[in-house]
Amino acid sequence: MASPPSITISNLCKRFGNQEVLRNISFEVPRGQTYCIIGGSGQGKSVLLKHVMRLLAPDSGDVRIDGESIVGLSGKPLDEVRKKMGMVFQESALFDSMTCLENVSFGLTMHRRDLPAREIERIAREKLRLVGLSRVEHKYPSEISGGMKKRVGIARAIALEPEILLYDEPTTGLDPVLASSIDELILKMKAELHVTSLVITHDMNSAFRISDRILFLYNGKIHFSGSSREVRETTDPVLGQFVRGETSGPIPVIVGEDL
| Residue 197 belongs to domain with CATH number | 3.40.50.300
Are residues 257 and 175 part of one domain?
Answer: yes
Are residues 173 and 116 part of one domain?
Answer: no
What's this model's pTM, rounded to 2 decimal places?
Answer: 0.86
CA separation for the pair 151, 105 (Å, rounded): 14
Confidence of residue 27 (pLDDT cuts 50, 70, 90): very high
Average pLDDT, the chain: 88
Are residues 114 and 20 part of one domain?
Answer: no
pLDDT digits (tens, 9 = 90+) for 78-134: 988 988 999 988 777 889 999 999 999 998 888 887 889 999 999 999 999 988 888
CA separation for the pair 40, 202 (Å, rounded): 7
Residue 89 maps to a domain: no
Q: What pLDDT sits at residue 128?
A: 92
Residue 245 maps to a domain: yes
- Of 177 and 37, the structure prediction assigns the larger pLDDT to 37
Number of H helices, E strands in the chain: 9, 10
Q: What pLDDT sits at residue 2?
A: 58
Q: Rg of the Cα trace of the chain?
A: 18
* pLDDT above 80 (res 14): yes
Q: Provide the domain limits for residue 236.
A: 1-84+162-259
Q: What pLDDT sits at residue 26?
A: 96
Collapsing DSSP to helix, strand or coil, 247 comes out as: coil
